[in-house]
Structure 1
Amino acid sequence: MADADPAFTKTQPADTAPVDTAPVERKSKRRKLLGGIAAAVLVAGAGYGGWYVLVGSHYVSTDNAYVGADTASVTPLVAAQVTEVRVGDTQRVRKGDILVQLDDSDARIAVAQAEADLAQARRQYGQTSATSAALAAQVGARDADIARARAQLVAAQADYDKARVDLDRRRKLAPAGAVSGDELTSATAAFSSARANLELARAGIAQANSTRGAATGQLAANNALINGTNVTNAPEVMVAQAKLAQAKLTLDRSVIRAPVDGIVTRRNVQVGQRVAPGTALMLIVPVDSLYVDANFKEAQLAKVKVGQPVSLTSDLYGGSVTYTGRVVGLSGGTGSSFALIPAQNATGNWIKVVQRVPVRVALDPKQLKDHPLRVGLSMDAEIDISGD
């Protein structure tokens, strides 16, 4: 057998091409990366959990908060024409500053009339007091009349008795002819005259008693008007004084003054305008006594109580200025319950909406003075509930 060709009988080497390890390295790097991310997440979660337990759970916060104020509405209490307006929008005023002057001509006349009525009432009281003295004197005079009438009655009674005795004597002597007819007639006439005078004296006493009774009644009626009173507390004088006080009050109300310190807003009154009681002339915003209404979610309110400290920041100044306040109250209901058109949840396709309750926060007046705010500005509020 012929020898094989060495070129063909030499053993061929195996395939020695290099193995591609890139996919394995990439998987390893991915596992390391995912492991690092997972570790970071766990660390972050643990850190957040620790922060929440130690710090975060002690606070509730919201950015749904706004500056508010109890604004004062300036309205007239009397109807009159405006003669002067001394302030304008954005102007700062102090309590008691004159804002608007109304025409006071009619009010001044009313004051003068009331003063005259008071003087007249005092004069009438003095006249009534003097009348009592005069009526007392009249009662004394009537007593004298009664005494005189009684004396006249005594005299008339004596004359009557004498005339009756004389008549009886003559009547007894007349049958014997000892007394003439003329003498008997004269005695009879004298007796009749004495009897008439007696009746007249008796009537005089009755009249004197009646006159005294009338004078006594007038005195009692007049005394009833002045007993227990003087020129200052007599009813008619007090009525006149009340009318004068009302007239002066109306005159004083013709000058409209600022009820509080603050800034004039929404001025809508002009000189020459006739205003009626209750007409809104302007608003005064007390910028030194503002508050914040922070609308917290219902799930945040479990531990919120009156008196807890609050930290606030305003969009006006940013985080560079922090206000400190305190919770002064929680609203009696959610914001939606007091809306003009409250939500009607009794429907077939009802969707639960997280409700918010307004929490009133009082601000520090000194901080407001250093960094003024305005009504309606946005605030961020954070309540420290750790004191629960």
Structure 2
Amino acid sequence: MNKNWKLIRGRLNKGAKLLLLIAILAAVIYWFKFAPVPVEQHQVERGKIMDEVMGTGTLDVKIKMIISSKISGRIKDVLVDQGDKVSADQLVVTLDDDQLKLQVKVALANLETVESGVNKVQRDLKFAEVVLSNAVKTYNRYRKLMPKTISQETFDKATEELGTSRARYSRAEAAVIEAKNKVVEATKVLELRKAQLDDSQIRAPFDGIIINRERDRGNIVIPGSAILSLISTKVLWVRAWVDETEFAKIKAGQPAGIIFRSEPEHTYPGKVARIAIEVDRETREFIVDVNVNELPVNWAIGQRAEVYIETDKKDNALIVPEKYIKWRNNVSGVFVDNGGVASWRHIKTGLHGGNLIEIIGELQEGDSVLNPISLKNKLTDQMRISVQ
């Protein structure tokens, strides 16, 4: 009897353990499959929303130039350095001008010489003019007296003298023209030498900032070789690359926010200045130039920034954070709390600004939308939820 009881009790213990194991397994399955999913909720509200287009680019300037020399020479001094502000017509570089000054003196002396030559040939021309005038008078008088009063020989001499006087006058006249041409030529040479001397003084063409210095004192320069790089700070902009799908939204004059990577917490105001009409064939992006109305204390040409261009806005739209928008079969919607159960609502979206999205559809202000707290959980229609 005792043996049978022991056998029965052993079997009962094994059965109880098996039942306990099945109960625990069932509880675990129920917990993971049917237990409420922890969610966070957000009340739909009305507020301001802006539709923005984002682009990434670098700070640049509209007006920039390389300051170079018009003539060949040796740099005597560079009067400014990188980071210096300069004014229009300010002297920034000087070249060695000793030879140029000597050339100006030589050209000036040559001009004075040819000008004195003009005076001489002009006196010769006046003398030739007087001689020709007398020869003409003598010839006319002798012609009237021929052949009664004077001989043929005398008249022939008067005729010959007239021809000689005319030739002398023509030579004197040509000499005056040639001398005047030499004066013009010498004047041009003097102007050239003076211009070259002036070119040894290199000046800033406009107000701006020197951003680079390429040459130092004693360096040899030729026409066109870079000495300094100058930018104008009147117009600075971010040249941002924007995806071509946004092309139709962007227009000149739209306001924009600019965030420099050196100051990610601060947004600087800007405005769209111009839009490129060519799309990069590889990246499928185009350039938008956004004027910078205000700059950080420390800035540099070429530093990276993001621009957020405001393409549209509404002041009284139904809005929710983007993370509450879900997609089912390419259809947008949200889950709402329906008495502890998640209920799917199809919606349409409108403007998209920052992390907010405009809701168009069945929701109303004050409705609660849901989002699972854990990324491992995924809401489905009629799923039990637990609002945390």
Distance 1:28 1:282, change over 3 A: same
Partner of 1:135: 128
**TM-score normalized by the length of structure 2:** 0.62
2:196 alignment partner AA = T
Partner of 1:355: 284
On the 8 A contact 2:270/2:290 being kept in 1, the answer is no
Paired with 1:274 and 1:148, the residues of 2 have a C-alpha distance of 75
Partner of 1:116: 109
Q: Secondary structure at the match of 1:318?
A: coil
Of 273, 292, 295, 2:238 maps to: 292
Partner of 2:216: 270
Of 140, 146, 149, 1:155 maps to: 149
**Which residues of structure 1 form unaligned runs of 5+?**
1-16, 157-200, 338-342, 344-353
On the 8 A contact 2:107/2:193 being kept in 1, the answer is yes
On the 8 A contact 2:255/2:269 being kept in 1, the answer is no
Distance 1:120 1:306, change over 3 A: farther
On the 8 A contact 1:331/1:359 being kept in 2, the answer is no
Partner of 1:281: 227
On the 8 A contact 1:72/1:284 being kept in 2, the answer is yes
Query: CA-to-partner distance for each residue in 1:327-363, whole Å, 9 max, x for gaps?
Result: 22315342xx5xxxxx6xxxxxxxxxx5211112223
In the alignment, structure 1 residue 81 sits paired with structure 2 residue 74: yes
Q: Secondary structure at the match of 2:58?
A: strand
Query: CA-to-partner distance for each residue in 1:170-205, whole Å, 9 max, x for gaps?
Result: xxxxxxxxxxxxxxxxxxxxxxxxxxxxxxx32432
In the alignment, structure 1 residue 66 sits paired with structure 2 residue 58: yes
Distance 1:29 1:144, change over 3 A: closer
Query: CA-to-partner distance for each residue in 1:22-70, whole Å, 9 max, x for gaps?
Result: 9689959976844x85x95xx78x88xx98xx845x32112x1110124
Paired with 1:270 and 1:207, the residues of 2 have a C-alpha distance of 78
On the 8 A contact 1:67/1:375 being kept in 2, the answer is yes
In the alignment, structure 1 residue 379 sits paired with structure 2 residue 308: no
Q: Secondary structure at the match of 1:141?
A: helix
Identity of matched residues, %: 18
Paired with 2:24 and 2:216, the residues of 1 have a C-alpha distance of 91
2:286 alignment partner AA = V
Compute the displacement of 1:220 (Å): 5.2
Q: Secondary structure at the match of 2:312?
A: coil
On the 8 A contact 2:251/2:272 being kept in 1, the answer is no
Compute the displacement of 1:149 (Å): 4.7
Distance 1:153 1:105, change over 3 A: farther
Distance 1:65 1:238, change over 3 A: same
Q: Secondary structure at the match of 2:265?
A: strand
Paired with 1:385 and 1:207, the residues of 2 have a C-alpha distance of 102
Distance 1:110 1:26, change over 3 A: same
**Which residues of structure 2 form unaligned runs of 5+?**
1-18, 314-388
In the alignment, structure 1 residue 324 sits paired with structure 2 residue 270: yes
Partner of 1:93: 86
Alignment of 1:305-316 (within 5 A): 305-316=251-262
On the 8 A contact 1:327/1:361 being kept in 2, the answer is yes
Compute the displacement of 1:255 (Å): 1.6
Paired with 1:372 and 1:96, the residues of 2 have a C-alpha distance of 27
**TM-score normalized by the length of structure 1:** 0.62
Cα RMSD, aligned residues only: 3.9
Query: CA-to-partner distance for each residue in 1:95-121, whole Å, 9 max, x for gaps?
Result: 333222211011111111222233233
Compute the displacement of 1:298 (Å): 1.0
Q: Which has the higher strand share?
A: 2
On the 8 A contact 1:310/1:326 being kept in 2, the answer is yes
On the 8 A contact 1:309/1:327 being kept in 2, the answer is no
Q: After TM superposition, what 4+ stretches of structure 1 lie above 4 angstroms from structure 2?
A: 20-32, 147-153, 220-227
Distance 1:203 1:32, change over 3 A: farther
Distance 1:98 1:147, change over 3 A: closer
Distance 1:306 1:141, change over 3 A: same
Q: Which has the higher helix share?
A: 1
Paired with 2:199 and 2:300, the residues of 1 have a C-alpha distance of 30
1:101 alignment partner AA = T
Q: Secondary structure at the match of 1:320?
A: coil
Q: Which has the larger radius of gyration?
A: 1
Distance 1:272 1:299, change over 3 A: same
Paired with 1:124 and 1:330, the residues of 2 have a C-alpha distance of 64
Equivalent residue pairs, number? 292
Q: Secondary structure at the match of 2:77?
A: strand
Distance 1:249 1:21, change over 3 A: same
Distance 1:286 1:316, change over 3 A: farther
Q: Secondary structure at the match of 2:148?
A: helix
Paired with 1:242 and 1:332, the residues of 2 have a C-alpha distance of 48
Q: Secondary structure at the match of 1:281?
A: strand
2:304 alignment partner AA = S
Of 240, 258, 266, 2:186 maps to: 240
Compute the displacement of 1:241 (Å): 2.3
On the 8 A contact 2:257/2:267 being kept in 1, the answer is no
